[in-house]
Structure 1
């Protein structure tokens, strides 16, 4: 009886491999440009036609290839970047699989021209559907040029899934921006259908991000390091936030990634300053020893795994939170051109001449409240990880931005109207009071002054196996939160005590949510996020709501409290707290300027 299992032909195997690597023209460009960067190129030029379907041409000035290497590069699993099994555990190059070129060649008509330094002439190869048709000598400068024509000409099923030329060209542009932001030391140019869309010369990371992404938005620097991890990058103020993650550029050892751990840490740090549904504009460069991260997860190499996931998460969150806590726009809405750094510097960052209501971040909150009388209540919230090098903070100004405003009155018993020297300021009194109460509650937590209340009649919780295991493993941490869960046999637990702040709420649901997040995310990230959810809910229900008349003394006291806390531009639910109408804008409306 003949065997039903057959070995695939080389051509079919290459097409299957291409399906994993070559999704659209943009993915072809990613592989070719990454190869150019690995080859030491300092100038990379891209030209496409018809969105990349008719032509993709990548030229570089890297070290080039000999005739023998050029032929070997088109064989599957042929690479110069790995020599033994050990190399796979510490990958330091962008490419390493040896699959990209043969996969691309199998679904296109490919022309490769390359010349290495010292060679008299270059080599030109022409392949059609992965089959070598010609090998000739050619004259060219040192480097490599690869032309991919008629992509998917022999796989019509893949061709029909491509979008319009304009859409594909847009994806190509986005891919080139991600690559260019990663390597500001390399010059890039991108031409589509004969029209140059961008050209950037070698420069600094700030210059590259400003030109390609931030445009007119100012950028603030962030930096920090631990024993095994360093972070650097830039972020823009809240008004530059986007409705998608398209402007979030995160890199691991120069490789662009979309990692859930990294994105969660970023969003957790930006939560106090961004409206819900908005995402920051930032570029974050994370350097970590290659053996601490696994990039061999997926052929596209967009996914990674960290050996110390929680440390990576907490470091990113702490460094960004520290930089954001010193951001000057929190009170004024205006962003002076200053830079903030999360590592100590012998020269302090310049101070803006305008008064701001900003208070220092977590570090100063700890210093203020550690001086308070000790409480019998246990400590429930840790400061940023000790392994992050803190930044020396400056004492807060005596008069803050909001305290310096002159109260005009109330509008619709819901908005406070104020004036500064140059603007009319409108404050949503509920959002402001909610934000102040949230910050005050959070500072109580930092000061170890949260109170726990024992339940006269304990609540019974029937937990899943995973939740029960989490409740046992994190019994101590839950106790520090004021939550006491006692085993009652099997997966049944008795809730005997809760924080006073949540005694009259749906406490069982809160505890279940906490256990669920601890199970999915790990204790450090879950505690921070759930704690903020809890405090924001309490704050919302414990302050003035809707129309509520206030006298001048009450309005002025609210303004002073806004300056006394670590204030932010939005309430915990994402609503803006204040809006500023400059005098010049009012003058233009009334045609006075």
Structure 2
């Protein structure tokens, strides 16, 4: 019987390894950027075409490679950071060349141009699908240039699984931002299809965050610092009033490497306890420095998840540091037991009684005495006060003359008497016969039908009505707008601005009017008729948050997602009182829809209870 197990050829093994390392173009970007950083470069340029499907090029001014290193970096199991098995648990670099380059070269056309500073000439190597095509000497500047073309050219099935250009480019931008935030001392540039997306000069951590996310980010940041034997924490957290629904601005860096940690995220949420609205997420950019031998970064293929030796202590330190920062900068209320000595009573006045204020009263003051002297009949001024008092009394009595006439007129007016035509229960019976709908617990609407009664969820019913309305407006491209007296200016990060630009045509069909879109802000001159001005920012945030994590592949899916998000955000909420006319309009609008049975999210909108079911309940 022949053997079943056999060794795979190198090119096949490389392609299998590439499936683990290179999932999409963003994986190549991550590896090449990290290699450039380990090469001690201070200027890194990323050039991308067609979201990395056609071209990915990373150019750096690092130390370069010798001819031997240039050939060895494409071999399997070649690395610069591991010599012994114990080195896996004491890593201080990201891996200078090697490891992933063999996998990348197995599924793409790769060109390497590199030159060391002390050498006069550099080296140019071309590889296609793990096969060396050429190796030449060339005149090159100091540093290294990796050019990856036609990704997955020899694996068509894998290439077909790639998403749209918009989706893949968003993943590339995510990887670029993570590397750029971890290394603010390096000049980064990102160019896509010939246009510059990011130009980030070398700066400090705070300025790098502002350059990436927009100028208004600066006023949102609260610095965090803590230095212990276990961990050294630095970075920034966002103020609670700027929290958003999305989790896009949350970054953890451990030893300058981006990670994801639900455990540490819970520590931050615990520090914000009582400061955030329900469902909101704070922004944070936290840099943790720990001894390399206290973490394991190889528990995940992409190294975005790591394991700490003492997670509980790290949790407590991180939570305490953030709470302290929020309190120190008057973001959160804190208990302050220190007294202001300036507010204390002076010592010499401590035992003295307070003096009561003195009040002076003029006993001769009479408010009814006129200032001007009164003439008598003999053309002499009266010197006595009796005549003045009598005249004053007569003048006061004259004030009531007209008032008596008005009172008599009022008394002559007759009012209609209200007659009670029936008892309280009779009135209720009349209302029951005329009313068609009822609201229960400000959540459900009950309406009678021939076979029994109908119980409708008011929130889901309104979602269905708005969903079909917005979807029709987007498709037909005809919607009413209300002009704003003053344009509404909203601020977003650069990534969110790019997303809004993609949504702009569909949003304009629903009634939005965009006056101007800048790098970090937008101006809105008109909004749909059914939306309040205060709801616009919340709606756009929910649109971005909902569609960022579920990016549609087609225009119809995008329009459908917009209509669903707007309907969910603007539908009448549970707990809202509806007048009888509003209830009837909601019921009529629901059954005028094409599909009144389920909400846009496939949840039942109403249930029917027949008379037979009610009879059975009472027959028990």
Q: Is TM > 0.5 for Structure 1 vs Structure 2?
A: yes
CA contact (8 A) 2:295 2:307 kept: yes
Partner of 1:222: 224
For residues 262 and 394 of structure 1, the distance between their equivalents in structure 2, rounded to whole angstroms, comes to: 36
Partner of 1:275: 277
SS in 2 for 1:30: helix
Match of 2:333 among 337, 359, 368: 359
Partner of 2:106: 106
For residues 290 and 149 of structure 2, the distance between their equivalents in structure 1, rounded to whole angstroms, comes to: 38
For residues 48 and 322 of structure 2, the distance between their equivalents in structure 1, rounded to whole angstroms, comes to: 38
Output aligned runs, 1:554-573, within 5 Å.
Answer: none
For residues 576 and 56 of structure 2, the distance between their equivalents in structure 1, rounded to whole angstroms, comes to: 59
Output aligned runs, 1:197-236, within 5 Å.
Answer: 197-213=197-213, 215-217=215-217, 218=219, 219-236=221-238
Partner of 1:183: 183
Equivalent residue pairs, number: 344
Cα 1:5–1:204 change in 2 (3 A) is same
Partner of 2:249: 247
CA contact (8 A) 1:359 1:396 kept: no
Cα 1:216–1:86 change in 2 (3 A) is same
Stretch deviating more after TM superposition (225-234 or 165-174): 165-174
CA contact (8 A) 1:77 1:97 kept: no
Quote how far apart the aligned CAs of 1:271 are.
Answer: 3.1
For residues 168 and 396 of structure 1, the distance between their equivalents in structure 2, rounded to whole angstroms, comes to: 62
Quote how far apart the aligned CAs of 1:77 are.
Answer: 1.3
CA contact (8 A) 2:246 2:280 kept: yes
Partner of 2:571: none
Stretch deviating more after TM superposition (66-75 or 254-263): 254-263
Output aligned runs, 1:204-353, within 5 Å.
Answer: 204-213=204-213, 215-217=215-217, 218=219, 219-328=221-330, 330=331
Partner of 2:30: 30
CA contact (8 A) 2:106 2:130 kept: yes
Regions of 4+ moved over 6 Å:
393-398
For residues 66 and 267 of structure 2, the distance between their equivalents in structure 1, rounded to whole angstroms, comes to: 45
Quote how far apart the aligned CAs of 1:165 are.
Answer: 1.5
For residues 142 and 204 of structure 2, the distance between their equivalents in structure 1, rounded to whole angstroms, comes to: 26
SS in 1 for 2:80: coil
Stretch deviating more after TM superposition (2-11 or 26-35): 2-11
SS in 2 for 1:322: helix
Relative CO higher for 1 or 2, CA cutoff 8 Å, sep ≥ 6? Answer: 1
Provide the TM-score with structure 2 as the length reference: 0.53
Partner of 2:170: 170
CA deviation map 1:547-592 (0-9, x unaligned): 9xxxxxxxxxxxxxxxxxxxxxxxxxxxxxxxxxxxxxxxxxxxxx
RMSD over aligned CA atoms reads 2.3
For residues 293 and 96 of structure 1, the distance between their equivalents in structure 2, rounded to whole angstroms, comes to: 20
For residues 118 and 282 of structure 2, the distance between their equivalents in structure 1, rounded to whole angstroms, comes to: 48
Provide the TM-score with structure 1 as the length reference: 0.56
Partner of 2:64: 64
CA contact (8 A) 1:233 1:283 kept: yes
- Structure 1: 5+ residue stretches without partners: 331-357, 369-392, 399-544, 548-593
SS in 1 for 2:216: coil
Partner of 2:134: 134
Cα 1:317–1:66 change in 2 (3 A) is same
Partner of 1:45: 45
Quote how far apart the aligned CAs of 1:97 are.
Answer: 9.3
Quote how far apart the aligned CAs of 1:166 are.
Answer: 2.2
Cα 1:396–1:102 change in 2 (3 A) is farther
- Structure 2: 5+ residue stretches without partners: 344-574, 578-620
Cα 1:249–1:77 change in 2 (3 A) is same
Partner of 1:414: none
CA contact (8 A) 2:185 2:203 kept: yes
Larger radius of gyration: 2
Cα 1:307–1:9 change in 2 (3 A) is same
CA deviation map 1:182-238 (0-9, x unaligned): 100000000000000010111110000011125303121100021121000012222
Quote how far apart the aligned CAs of 1:98 are.
Answer: 3.9
Quote how far apart the aligned CAs of 1:175 are.
Answer: 1.3
Quote how far apart the aligned CAs of 1:327 are.
Answer: 4.0
For residues 295 and 261 of structure 1, the distance between their equivalents in structure 2, rounded to whole angstroms, comes to: 16
Partner of 1:115: 115
Partner of 1:15: 15
